[in-house]
């Protein structure tokens, strides 16, 4: 005679106490950090960086002067990775809060006209910067370093 195992005798596997996943950003009114990644056509990294530093970085610095941006950092990897995981530049911006990070800056157009009176050249160079860009993505991040 065969024994039939009852459902009650099945091994019990405990459920995880906490579901894994990305932790939420900090609460309202707290600084909010976003990493912006840029992957450039091979061989055009220096051209992209020059255009970025000429035509976008000064705008970010002006915005920082308003208090909307608390910190700004530009990085490049020291070594190469696989092509599908490659990025050439990461710009990390720490904003005053999530609202500032996700809403348009009312001063941006005025800053652009002030910084680049020759708007035709500015537009042409910005178009070129995006022509040589293969990919761009934004990644909001949360610092979960344990407090001391």
In-domain check, residue 66:
yes
Residues whose CB falls within 8 Å of the CB of residue 140, separated by 6 or more in sequence, listed in order: 25, 32, 33, 34, 35, 101
Which residues share a beta bridge with 28?
Answer: none
Instruction: Please name every residue paired with 50 in a beta bridge, in sequence order, or none if there are none.
Output: none
Q: What is the pLDDT of residues 104-118, one digit of tens each?
A: 999 999 999 999 999
In a domain, 15, yes or no: no
Give the model confidence (pLDDT) of 41-53 as tens digits: 999 999 999 999 9
146 lies in some domain: no
Which domain, by its residues, includes 130? 28-141
53: domain CATH number is 3.30.70.100
**In a domain? residue 18:** no
Residue 148 clears pLDDT 70, i.e. is over it: yes
The pairing of strands 32-40 and 89-95 is antiparallel
pLDDT exceeds cutoff 70 at 8: no
Q: How many domains does the chain have?
A: 1
Q: Is position 10 within any domain?
A: no
Assess if residue 72 is contained within a domain. Answer: yes
Domain presence at residue 92: yes
In a domain, 7, yes or no: no
């Amino acid at each position: 005679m065969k024994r039939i195992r009852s459902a009650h005798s099945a091994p019990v596997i405990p459920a995880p106490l906490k579901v894994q996943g990305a932790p939420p950003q900090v609460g309202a009114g707290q600084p909010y950090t976003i990493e912006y990644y840029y992957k450039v056509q091979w061989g055009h990294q220096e051209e992209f960086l020059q255009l970025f530093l000429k035509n976008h970085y000064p705008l970010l610095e002006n915005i920082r002067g308003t208090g909307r941006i608390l910190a700004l950092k530009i990085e490049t990897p020291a070594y190469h990775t696989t092509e599908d995981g490659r990025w050439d530049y990461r710009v990390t911006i720490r904003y005053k809060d999530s609202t500032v990070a996700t809403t348009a800056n009312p001063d941006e157009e005025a800053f652009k006209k002030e910084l680049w009176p020759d708007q035709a050249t500015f537009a042409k160079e910005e178009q070129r910067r995006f022509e040589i860009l293969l990919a761009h993505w934004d990644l909001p991040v949360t610092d979960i370093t344990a407090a001391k």
